[in-house]
Amino acid sequence: MLLGCIGDDFTGSSDLGNTLAREGMRVVQYTGVPDGPADDDVEAGVIALKTRSIPPAEAVRQSLAALAWLRDQGCEQIVFKYCSTFDSTPEGNIGPVAEALADALEADKVIVCPAFPGTGRSVYQGHLFVRDRLLSESGMESHPLNPMTDPDIRRWLARQTRLEVGHIAAPTVLAGPSPIAAALEAEHQAGRRLIVVDALRDADLRAIGEAAAGLPLITGGSGIALGLPTNFARRGLLGHGGRAWTGQPGPCVALSGSCSNATRGQVARHAARYPTFEVVAGDVMAGRVTPEGLAETLLAAEGLPLAYSSADPQTVAAAQAEFGREAVAAALEGFFATLAARLVEGGVTRLVTAGGETSGAIVEGLALTTLEIGPEIDPGVPALRAGPALTVALKSGNFGAEDFFEKAATVLAGDA
Ligand SMILES: Nc1ncnc2c1ncn2[C@@H]1O[C@H](COP(=O)(O)OP(=O)(O)OP(=O)(O)O)[C@@H](O)[C@H]1O
Ligand SMILES: O=C(O)[C@@H](O)C(=O)CO
């Protein structure tokens, strides 16, 4: 294994796997730290953790355990993947995890770059944009778990870490790999170890990737990995891409716990065409709806049924005020995990999930240990094979076109 990756959630990990596979690496995504060694032909291993919204010390512990396994597999470079909208709170977990990994790897120039131009995320003058809006005006300011209220990621990150935060601005990035490498060195000499790097286009990310050849640790969204496979290919270290991926016929169900603007649009579109069932937070908290009962309904439904708890910010805020933010999130995630298990037991062979936390709970609930990365459904979302009779798509909240659920069902079937 050449490249070792640690993702702070499951959808984000498959987003990174998608980028690396598209760029020619043979990639496997693991759920948590594997018990045994990786297969010999794996070139990039992505360990998917669910550390985005847990206490920082626990996120650090799990990330260091992942690092130890990846080093045992021989990885010479590590990527720490977090969200392209920099999902975190003033406590963490991006800063604490990056800092711990940097210490363990003795990394003194650590790139921090959440840019993902393919989905409209760019970093300019240290500020994160989602298309033409600042992060803090993009809808992310009302995220259920980590409201992003400051678009200056240098300032946001500085609240999370003891390390000095540096910056490389767009003019240097546009000048190419050598000036970027020189600027990284200058930031290091100035004592700034976590270095936010501007990036507007894929070409910028490829240049940053080239400048990062040989760095032990790189952090960012999946875009930061765009240029890394070429570094290995140049040295003749890559084989010929992934194994052949095949789709899976059979029943398909979509489950959504994401409350992002994009997912709510996808749910609304889907509801106009297919059987759609709302999971109301208060009903779950009061036990008025059970995963077993809903599974039966979904299994009996025609077409491509969808169950969702996705709701607008006012509805989410009201549920959180009544039951507590963590309690309602845990109850809904547990509900979807059990629901998914009942659906697969009932014969579902294609499962589409929306929302990082939600998808993580479902993958854990189904005890899926390795995921083979398949074709891209929409930017950042690949089809995944989870076992001999199960394919899944784990959609990050804000990703995907309006008809994502339908599109995913088609690609999972191998029909695209
Ligand atoms: N109706 C609701 N009321 C309160 N909380 C909800 C509701 N629906 C979902 N949630 C919780 O909100 C959180 C949504 O996070 P999740 O990561 O699944 O989606 P997302 O943030 O849109 O996706 P991503 O992390 O990929 O951007 C989950 O913990 C979920 O349980
Ligand atoms: O980077 C992103 O936006 C996604 O891969 C993700 O991590 C959302 O959960």
ipTM attached to this prediction: 0.97
pLDDT score at 243:
65
CA atoms within 13 A on the CB side of 299: 17
Distance in Å, CA 83 to ligand 2 centroid: 4
pLDDT score at 228:
98
- Round to whole Å and give the CA distance between 394 and 378: 11
Residue 141 CB neighbours (<10 A): 15
Strand order in the sheet with 133-134: 121-124, 127-130, 133-134
pLDDT score at 161:
98
Inter-helix orientation angle 261-271/404-412, to 10°: 80
Per-residue model confidence as pLDDT tens digits over 360-409 = 999 999 999 999 999 999 999 999 999 999 999 999 998 999 999 999 99
pLDDT score at 192:
98
Instruction: Give the contacts of 310 (CB within 8 A, at least 6 positions apart).
Output: 256, 257, 258, 259, 260, 263, 264, 267, 354, 355
Pocket test for ligand 1, best of 328, 359, 394 (most atoms within 8 A of CB): 328
pLDDT score at 241:
65
Per the listing, tokens 């077409």 go with 303
pLDDT score at 244:
78
- Round to whole Å and give the CA distance between 229 and 197: 19
Smallest CA separation from ligand 2 atom 8, residue:
396
Pocket test for ligand 1, best of 135, 283, 309, 326 (most atoms within 8 A of CB): 309
pLDDT score at 145:
86
C-alpha pair distances (Å), 189 with each of 92, 109, 111, 288: 26, 10, 15, 60
Distance in Å, CA 381 to ligand 2 centroid: 10
Q: Quick check: CB of 259 below 6 Å from ligand 1?
A: yes
Single out the residue of 231, 222, 348, 230 nearest to residue 296, CA to CA.
Answer: 348
Question: Please, are residues 119 and 131 in contact by the beta-carbon 8 Å criterion?
Answer: no
Fold classification of 252-412 is Molybdenum Cofactor Biosythetic Enzyme; Chain A (3.40.980)
Q: Quick check: CB of 363 below 6 Å from ligand 1?
A: no
Q: Return the H-helix or E-strand segment holding 375.
A: strand 370-378
Per the listing, tokens 């999902």 go with 87
Q: Which residues of the chain have pLDDT under 50?
A: none
The pLDDT > 90 percentage for the chain reads: 96
Q: Quick check: CB of 260 below 6 Å from ligand 1?
A: yes
Q: Quick check: CB of 221 below 6 Å from ligand 2?
A: yes
- Residue 399 Cα: closest atom of ligand 2: 3
Q: Which CATH class is domain 3-234?
A: alpha beta
Locate the domains of the chain by residue range. 3-234, 252-412
CA dihedral angle for residue 106, residue 109, residue 110, residue 112, rounded to 10 degrees: 170
Per-residue model confidence as pLDDT tens digits over 211-263 = 999 999 999 999 999 999 999 999 999 986 666 789 999 999 999 999 999 99
- Round to whole Å and give the CA distance between 372 and 356: 18
pTM for the model? 0.93
Distance in Å, CA 380 to ligand 2 centroid: 8
Ligand nearest to the CA of 84: 2
- Round to whole Å and give the CA distance between 189 and 164: 12
